[in-house]
Amino acid sequence: DREAPSAVLHFAARAGVRPSLRDPKLYEATNGRGTLNILELCREFKMSRLIYTSSSSVYGERFNMPLRETDPIMNPISPYGAAKYASEKMCQVYQSLTGMDLNVIRPFTVYGPRQRPDMAIFKFTRMIDRGLSIPLFGDGSTARDYTFISDFVDGVEKALHFAGGFRIFNLGGSHSTRLIDLVHTISKALDKKPEIEFQPTQPGDVPLTLADISRARDELGYEPKISVPEGIQRFVDWYRSSAQVGRA
């Protein structure tokens, strides 16, 4: 006998915008069909609640900020973003078919201790710490809305208990930080000077992200608490403690 869980939190995915440009079929198979498998199981077990973790990458290249959940999705610019958006629409279909409460989360650049080592903050920290030059794509003016992991988890927990049929929520820090400023924030936390090597802009990169979190704030009570300087310092402290035992 199989017992149905009370809720499903679907975080599983193949991550990365740039890698998706090299192997789009893999991303469609993993993130698209993988999500469909989860939805089918939810229908089989008559689940009443599902959280699907999408991505801010669904918005693509946009110039009107901040980004709102009600904005039309016109031009995802990576297979990763396109697959995530397709999965959102499939979630909407299954919510309509089953009547379950299904909340979609669009995270904005989540970071913090134990994050993926291929992400910019981890790579920049390691390279500055080791005295290596940082390859910076573009002129450093691209900016991201960074979300500390504890704020993201708080938002997910609140969304888990929100019953509203089908709903999409941005979870971000509600503040954009330029890439060059991020590098200097990391170097300050490490107390080491960075060496920067500027390189051409990469396909799939967007110039700016900034989340409008009004809906999450009003309906979930979501409120990010950790600023980028504080979050970077927490990450660097973890990185140093992990490096001492060979984990970073």
- Write phi, then psi, for 143 (nearest 5 degrees): -135, 145
Q: What is the pLDDT of residue 120?
A: 93
Judge whether 119 lies within some domain.
yes
Judge whether 248 lies within some domain.
no
Q: What is the DSSP letter of 58?
A: G
pLDDT of the chain along its 248 residues, tens only? 678 889 999 999 999 998 999 999 999 999 999 999 999 999 999 999 999 999 999 999 888 899 999 999 988 899 999 999 999 999 999 999 999 999 999 999 999 999 999 999 999 999 999 999 999 988 999 999 999 999 999 999 999 999 999 999 999 999 999 999 999 999 999 999 999 999 988 877 788 999 999 999 999 999 999 999 999 999 999 999 987 545 55
Q: Which residues sit opposite 135 in a β-bridge?
A: 197
Judge whether 115 lies within some domain.
yes
Judge whether 3 lies within some domain.
no
Q: In terms of Cα–Cα distance, which of 197, 82, 190, 183 is closest to 142?
A: 183
Question: The whole model's pTM is what?
Answer: 0.93
Q: What is the pLDDT of residue 20?
A: 94
Q: What is the pLDDT of residue 35?
A: 98
Give the number of domains in the chain: 1
Q: What is the pLDDT of residue 201?
A: 84
Question: The CATH number of the domain where 231 resides is what?
Answer: 3.40.50.720
Q: What is the pLDDT of residue 1?
A: 61
Judge whether 113 lies within some domain.
yes
Cβ count near 67 (within 10 Å): 23
Judge whether 91 lies within some domain.
yes
- Residues marked active site are found at 80
Q: What is the pLDDT of residue 247?
A: 53
Q: What is the DSSP letter of 178?
A: E
Judge whether 2 lies within some domain.
no
Helices H, strands E: what count in the chain?
9, 10
Q: What is the DSSP string of 109-135?
A: -EE-TT--TTSHHHHHHHHHHTTPEEE
Range of the domain at 100: 8-243
Judge whether 123 lies within some domain.
yes
